[in-house]
């Protein structure tokens, strides 16, 4: 066994001449444990919320989305749709068209994004699982039906037990505007069949209608679409599918994965996560000053032992390593205690939801979501270990043992 490590381990668990050194060492260990625990919990909660929101987005957004680089729509006959469907990993491609329109239900009005979808959309997306009222269908007794985001339905005061139709108004592209609404706007009606709740940004924005209904309302030609929503097989290589699609479509289209579809959101979430991480690391750095004091006092307390080791032939390098290992052991033990407690609490939270969200059921989940990620645990472990080594190195580097004659060789 390494002699320096062996002596450091004995020092860690032995009684010191001055009891305050034991207390400071214990405080150092507790401080590092608490800091590590806070890092594990905080990062896991961020991961939990991130994963929760991603899953909600996945209920509405496809794995890949094809959109034109210029303009709002393109005609499906101008792209090799059959070849896109034959790409390995592609399960199905849904056609959609969307624009903003004015909605009126009784005396209530609002502006929403009308999304025309085909039959594949309801089959492949997760909207049907997110229904909070009514049923997930786009027809009602051979008439066009409409599914509304929960907040849009709330704004319009829609009751799904009533038979009143929802009116849609879309401006006509004419040079001469008229104060007569029937001359300036296209008008169509559809019957509400249900409402869904996915994510606030979606719930307050979207209503879903049949694709042909949307094209007629917006004055689009047969075959016009705003985007293709691509659904993949379970074992599909998303990156390869994306590259093959881009090669077939050329430079007039972009193929967005789920992260690129919400690029701003994911950047904000990552920024917040690592900002909190750096703040907690800084707190850990401040807490590690206790370790500096503990090692400094231990070096003074053990000066007689150092002198004995010197008389037995120990050099300065061996003595420095003893106190370096001592600080490292304190930091590693504190880190391990914090990691174990953090992982246990995260597991209990995942299984039993012991820490509830305040709000009385106003959220889509009752308890704080958490998700442990191995790479995050590794980063936390390396960070705390590095801080412990740095805090141990500082007193050893700047206290030169001048009061003891230690051999250099």
310 has a pLDDT exceeding 80: no
Give the tens place of pLDDT for each residue, 228-286.
Answer: 999 999 899 999 999 999 999 989 999 999 888 888 888 888 888 889 999 989 988 88
Q: Give the number of other Cβ atoms within 10 Å of residue 31's Cβ.
A: 21
Q: Place 123 in a pLDDT band, splitting at 50, 70 and 90.
A: confident
Spatial contact of 83 and 250, defined as CB atoms under 8 Å apart: no
- At 201 the pLDDT is 85
SS3 (DSSP) at 65: strand
All structural domains of the chain with their residue ranges? 3-57+265-398, 64-258
* C-alpha 282: how far from chain center: 23
pLDDT higher at 306 or 240? 240
Q: Place 408 in a pLDDT band, splitting at 50, 70 and 90.
A: very low
Least confident of 91-95, 311-315, 336-340, 372-376: 311-315
Going by C-alpha positions, the residue among 344, 355, 409, 246 that lies closest to residue 37 is: 344
- At 156 the pLDDT is 94
- At 27 the pLDDT is 82
The tally of CA atoms less than 13 A away on the side-chain side of residue 22 is: 8
What tokens appear for 113 in the block?
């994004």
- At 404 the pLDDT is 47
Distance CA 33, CA 37 (A): 6
Q: Which pTM value belongs to this model?
A: 0.71
What residues form DSSP beta bridges with 194? 134, 147
What tokens appear for 227 in the block?
């985007």
Spatial contact of 138 and 147, defined as CB atoms under 8 Å apart: yes
Least confident of 59-63, 127-131, 320-324: 320-324
Distance CA 103, CA 109 (A): 5
- At 18 the pLDDT is 57
Q: What are phi and psi of 204, to 5 degrees?
A: -95, 5
Spatial contact of 245 and 66, defined as CB atoms under 8 Å apart: yes
Provide Rg for the chain, Cα atoms.
32
126 has a pLDDT exceeding 90: no
What tokens appear for 165 in the block?
């139709």
Tell me what the pLDDT averaged over the chain comes to. Answer: 85
Give the tens place of pLDDT for each residue, 315-334.
Answer: 777 777 788 888 888 888 99
Give the tens place of pLDDT for each residue, 162-183.
Answer: 678 999 999 987 656 556 666 7
Q: Place 42 in a pLDDT band, splitting at 50, 70 and 90.
A: very high
What residues form DSSP beta bridges with 148? 195, 207
Among left, alpha and beta (phi > 0; psi -120 to 50; other), residue 230 is: beta
- What is the average pLDDT across 103-107? 93
- What is the average pLDDT across 54-59? 73
Q: What DSSP designation does 16 have?
A: P
Give the tens place of pLDDT for each residue, 201-234.
Answer: 889 999 999 999 999 999 999 999 999 999 999 8
Residues 6+ apart with CB under 8 A from 81: 93
């Amino acid at each position: 066994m390494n002699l320096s490590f062996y002596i450091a381990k004995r020092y860690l668990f032995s009684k010191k001449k001055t009891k305050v050194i034991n207390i400071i060492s214990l405080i150092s260990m507790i401080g590092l444990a608490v800091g590590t625990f806070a890092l594990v919990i905080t990062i896991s909660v961020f991961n939990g919320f991130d994963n929760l929101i991603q899953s909600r987005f996945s209920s509405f957004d496809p794995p890949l989305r094809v959109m034109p680089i210029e303009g709002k729509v393109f005609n499906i006959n101008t792209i090799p749709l059959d070849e896109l469907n034959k790409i390995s990993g592609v399960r199905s491609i849904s056609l959609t068209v969307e624009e903003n329109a004015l909605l009126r239900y009784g005396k209530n009005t609002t502006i929403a994004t009308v999304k025309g979808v085909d039959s594949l959309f309801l089959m492949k997306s997760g909207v049907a699982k997110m229904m909070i009222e009514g049923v997930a269908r786009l027809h009602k007794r051979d008439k066009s039906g409409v599914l509304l985001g929960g907040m849009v339905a709330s704004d319009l005061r829609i009751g799904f037990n009533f038979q009143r139709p929802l009116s849609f108004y879309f401006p006509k592209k004419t040079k001469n505007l008229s104060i007569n609404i029937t001359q300036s706007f296209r008008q169509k009606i559809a019957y509400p069949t249900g409402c869904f709740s996915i994510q606030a940004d979606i719930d307050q924005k979207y209503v879903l209608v049949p694709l042909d209904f949307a094209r007629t309302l917006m004055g689009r030609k047969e075959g016009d679409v705003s985007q293709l929503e691509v659904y993949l097989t379970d074992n599909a290589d998303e990156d390869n599918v994306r590259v093959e699609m881009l090669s077939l479509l050329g430079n007039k289209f972009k193929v967005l994965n789920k992260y690129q579809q919400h690029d701003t959101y994911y950047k904000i979430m990552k920024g917040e996560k690592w900002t909190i991480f750096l703040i907690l690391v800084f707190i850990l750095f401040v807490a590690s000053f206790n370790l500096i004091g503990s090692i400094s006092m231990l070096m003074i307390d053990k000066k007689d032992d150092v002198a004995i080791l010197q008389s037995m032939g120990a050099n300065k390098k061996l003595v420095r390593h003893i106190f370096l290992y001592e600080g490292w052991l304190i930091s590693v033990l504190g880190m391990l205690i914090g990691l174990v407690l953090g992982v246990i609490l995260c597991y209990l939270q995942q299984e039993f939801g012991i820490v509830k969200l305040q709000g009385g059921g106003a959220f889509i989940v009752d308890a704080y979501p958490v998700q442990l990620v191995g790479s995050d645990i590794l980063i936390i472990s390396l960070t705390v270990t590095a801080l412990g080594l740095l805090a141990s190195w500082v007193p050893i580097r700047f206290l030169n043992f001048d009061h003891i004659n230690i051999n250099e060789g």
